[in-house]
């Protein structure tokens, strides 16, 4: 059972040995071009993979008070996963083409729903292509599964607890240092970060070739940044609750279990001008 990461070699072996026991889901998405994800999926994907749409399936519609990617309705998401062939015992593998930044959202949502046997493909679609493994532009024929999960709300940090969370634990921002410091903001109308947060850009979870660092290295790096804060008192956020899941995945892979995600993230936080904003380091 793979619960955090799976290599392209491991996935290929699994698909050859037990194809019926594995569901592969393409999660490619692009924040500045939401429609492009499904386009590139139709052009070519891992053979047999279905598609999960970040905007319409892994998120619910944006409201006046929400962030850019509100949590999906969990009952609807369960139905979507059933249609993609997921059963209660299925090994699910999710992938993208941006080092897991999008696929981690699907990984985390499945974990919230109680499905532990889900892993992100390390290196994603580029690594699969580089290994010369089979791809297709044909839509898969999927048999409906029986998946039915119940959300574990303890994995979610609600908005009402965010302001005081840095006093109780660690609130970790996954965005780039420039966005965290408020020097750049290419997406949201307000720059800066939630007061008391610390910055751990998701890119630091990766090696120069786009693969995740070893579990041992990630363990040491995260212990260093958390400075004694227990992993159960850590909550992650980002711009809209998507890439924050990358940091949670890295911690889980490192054996540091129990952190939360604030899904509304920065784009929800700044909806109310009365909420404080910090800039600088």
Catalytic residue numbers? Answer: 238
Whether the CB-CB separation of 122 and 101 falls below 8 Å is answered with no
| Helix H or strand E encompassing 115 | none
Tell me the Ramachandran region of residue 53: left when phi exceeds 0, alpha when psi lies from -120 to 50, beta otherwise: beta
Burial 44-63 (b: 16+ CB within 10 A, else e): ebbbbbbbbbbbebbbbeee
DSSP assignment of 119-179: EEETTHHHHHHHTT--EESSPP------------GGGB--HHHHTTHHHHSEEEE-S-HHH
In this structure, what token pair is assigned to residue 141?
């024929």
| Helix H or strand E encompassing 127 | helix 124-130
3-class SS of residue 108: helix
Number of Cα atoms under 13 Å in the Cβ half of residue 96: 24
| Displacement of CA 133 from its chain's centroid (Å) | 24
* Residue found under tokens 């959202």: 105
| Displacement of CA 99 from its chain's centroid (Å) | 11
The count of residues in the chain is 281
């Amino acid at each position: 059972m793979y619960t955090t990461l799976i290599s392209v070699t491991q996935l290929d072996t699994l698909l050859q040995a037990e194809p019926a026991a594995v569901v592969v889901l393409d999660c490619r998405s692009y924040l500045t071009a939401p429609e492009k994800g499904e386009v590139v999926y139709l052009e070519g994907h891992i053979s047999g993979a279905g598609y999960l749409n970040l905007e319409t399936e892994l998120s619910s519609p944006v409201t006046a008070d929400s962030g850019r990617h509100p949590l999906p309705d969990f009952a609807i998401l369960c139905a979507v996963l059933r249609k993609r062939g997921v059963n209660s015992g299925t090994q699910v593998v999710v992938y993208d083409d941006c080092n897991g930044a999008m696929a981690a959202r699907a990984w985390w949502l499945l974990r919230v729903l109680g499905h532990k046997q889900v892993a992100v493909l390390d290196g994603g679609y580029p690594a699969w292509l580089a290994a010369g493994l089979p791809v297709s532009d044909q839509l898969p024929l999927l048999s409906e599964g029986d998946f039915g999960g119940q959300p574990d709300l303890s994995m979610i940090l609600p908005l009402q607890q965010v302001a005081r969370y840095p006093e109780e634990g660690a609130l970790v921002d996954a965005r780039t240092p420039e966005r965290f410091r408020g020097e750049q903001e290419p997406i949201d109308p307000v720059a800066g970060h939630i007061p008391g947060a610390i910055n751990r850009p998701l890119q630091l979870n990766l090696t120069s070739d786009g693969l995740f660092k070893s579990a041992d290295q990630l363990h040491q790096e995260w212990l260093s940044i958390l400075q004694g804060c227990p992993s159960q008192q850590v909550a992650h956020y980002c711009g809209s609750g998507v890439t924050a899941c990358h940091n949670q995945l890295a911690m889980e892979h490192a054996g540091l279990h129990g952190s939360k995600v604030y899904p509304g993230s920065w784009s929800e936080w700044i909806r109310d001008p009365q909420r404080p904003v910090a800039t600088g380091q």
